[in-house]
Amino acid sequence: MRENILLASSENANEDIYHKILQGCGLNVDMKELADGDSTVIGERGVTLSGGQKARLSLARAAYYALVVARENAIVVMDDVLSALDVRSFQSFSHCHVFQSFSHCHVFQSFSHYHLR
């Protein structure tokens, strides 16, 4: 999972942002439940992820790319990635300061009702 989020560049990873993104996407809870933590192999030869876990993994990868790899030059387009999040994951995501620290314009569109009061 780690290599998937870090785009296979583990040796030069920004650990602080990586761990904040894990927390913001709710993946830190999943990592604790997996035998190999963030070293867990996923996909055909590894662990099968739920739809929500796949969405959170995609969101984490996009956030890491935007914040660390591309920085100010990032253009990230995600199609309906928030719809697969459960209430706990959506709350983690919406309260995560890492995502609020994007220094450029960002738009999140969701048809989810979790954020309504």
Domain ranges of the chain: 2-100
* The model's pTM: 0.75
pLDDT of the residue at 100: 60
pLDDT of the residue at 6: 92
pLDDT of the residue at 105: 55
65, 100, 101, 107: which is closest to 82 by C-alpha? 107
The rounded distance, in Å, linking the Cα atoms of 55 and 60 is 9
pLDDT of the residue at 17: 87
The rounded distance, in Å, linking the Cα atoms of 92 and 27 is 10
Residues of the chain with pLDDT under 50: none
pLDDT of the residue at 67: 81
pLDDT of the residue at 7: 83
CB 66, CB 24: distance < 8 Å = no
2-100: CATH number: 3.40.50.300
3-class SS string, 66-117: HHHHCHHHCCCCCCCHHHHCCHHHHHHHHCCHHHHCCCCCCCCCCCCCCCCC
CB 10, CB 3: distance < 8 Å = yes
